[in-house]
Amino acid sequence: VASAQSAGQAVLPLSLATGERRLVFTLQERTADGEWLISLREESDSASIDALIPAFGLTQREAEALYWVIKGKTNRDIGDILGLSPRTVHKHLEHVFAKLGVETRTAAATLAMNKLRPAGD
The model's pLDDT over 11-45, given as tens digits with 9 standing for 90+, comes to 677 888 887 778 888 887 777 888 888 888 777 88
Q: 47 Cβ partners below 8 Å, 6+ apart? A: none
Q: How many residues are present in the chain?
A: 121
Distance CA 17, CA 69 (A): 21
Domain with residue 50: its CATH number is: 1.10.10.10
Residue numbers of the domain that contains 82: 45-116
**Would you place residue 8 in the very low, low, confident or very high pLDDT band (cuts 50, 70, 90)?**
low
Is residue 121 situated within a structural domain?
A: no
Q: Are residues 39 and 51 in the same domain?
A: no
Distance CA 50, CA 9 (A): 34
Distance CA 59, CA 19 (A): 25
Q: Are residues 67 and 89 in the same domain?
A: yes
With 0.85 as the threshold, say if the pTM is over it. no
